[in-house]
Chain A
């Protein structure tokens, strides 16, 4: 199991997730630092993410869009507030309008990501704090799509296995 624990605080609107990976800290850091790797996991299969900029320095910004099942686009931005390679990353995460300009009316969240070596494995801890209903709602709207898609992918996998055997 990749995710080993998570903790929700409904009062503070914060969420903590702890995951462990069978890889060294440097390699896990890469999935955040390398935008080509990042876009392979940030968005769900139904809303894949494309990062058109990723200025991975303290104070730098990233901009990305997620493409929905009907070609609709949801745009977002990050602002890296702290980068201590390869152990700690902090960023603000928000939504953007069609031109890629931050839409602050949608609210933002703040993420703190930490990596820690445990033997040959890496523990990743992320604490996300939301400051508005809309920010969480929009993220969740995409998450529901993802849940459905994962179920379909599982069915496809089962069908493919049947064919081989």
Chain B
């Protein structure tokens, strides 16, 4: 069955990563340009270590990459991971387009 083929541990990590508002905000920021972990930490009312943990969750989900540059850790968006989430939502859009067409058919019956 199709459902079995779709089961995917990577996908679970992806969705867990998106489940937190701070992590979503980090993804949005680094999509626009690279940040150091300390640069990110300035934007949140939490410790450097807490921000580092969020970055680690995003890294495991392949949404961001982290690279050491001198004393800084530079965080960048990982576009493949984001594209994957978009692809799933594209498929969901198709479902609703087809539902809307069926509703229109019912309404056309008068």
| Residues of A that sit less than 8 Å from B by CB | 2-3, 6, 8-13, 15, 17, 19, 21-23, 27-28, 31, 37, 40-42, 44, 68, 72, 124, 126, 128, 130-134, 136-147, 150
Tell me how far the C-beta of B18 lies from the nearest C-beta in chain A, rounded to whole angstroms: 6
A40 with B102, Cβ < 8 A, contacts A2-B97, A140-B91 known? yes
- Residues of B in contact with A, size category: 35 or more
- Please, which residues of chain B bring their CB within 8 A of the CB of A31? 103, 106-107
Name the residue of chain B whose CB is nearest to the CB of A34. Answer: B106
A72, B27: Cα distance in complex, Å: 39
A residues less than 8 Å from B45 (CB atoms): none
| Residues of chain B contacted by A2 (CB below 8 angstroms) | 97, 100-101, 103-104
Output the least CB separation between A122 and chain B (Å).
Answer: 9
A-B contact pairs, 27 of them (CB 8 A): A2-B100, A3-B100, A8-B86, A10-B82, A10-B85, A10-B86, A13-B15, A13-B18, A15-B89, A15-B92, A15-B93, A17-B100, A19-B96, A19-B100, A19-B103, A21-B100, A21-B103, A22-B104, A41-B99, A132-B15, A137-B11, A139-B92, A140-B92, A142-B95, A143-B95, A146-B94, A146-B95
Give the distance in Å from the alpha carbon of A15 to the alpha carbon of B101 in the complex: 18
Given the interface contacts A2-B104, A8-B90, A143-B92, does A133 sit within 8 Å of B12 by beta carbon?
yes
Partner of A131, one of B7, B14, B19: B19
B46 to chain A: which residues have CB within 8 Å? none
In the assembled complex, the Cα of A144 lies from the Cα of B8 at a distance in Å of 17
Would A12 and B3 count as touching, CB distance under 8 A?
no
Q: Which residue of A lies closest to B2 (CB)?
A: A141
| Docked pose: A12 CA to B103 CA in angstroms | 27
Residue of B nearest to A145 (CB): B2
For A139, give its contact among B11, B12, B95 (CB under 8 Å).
B95
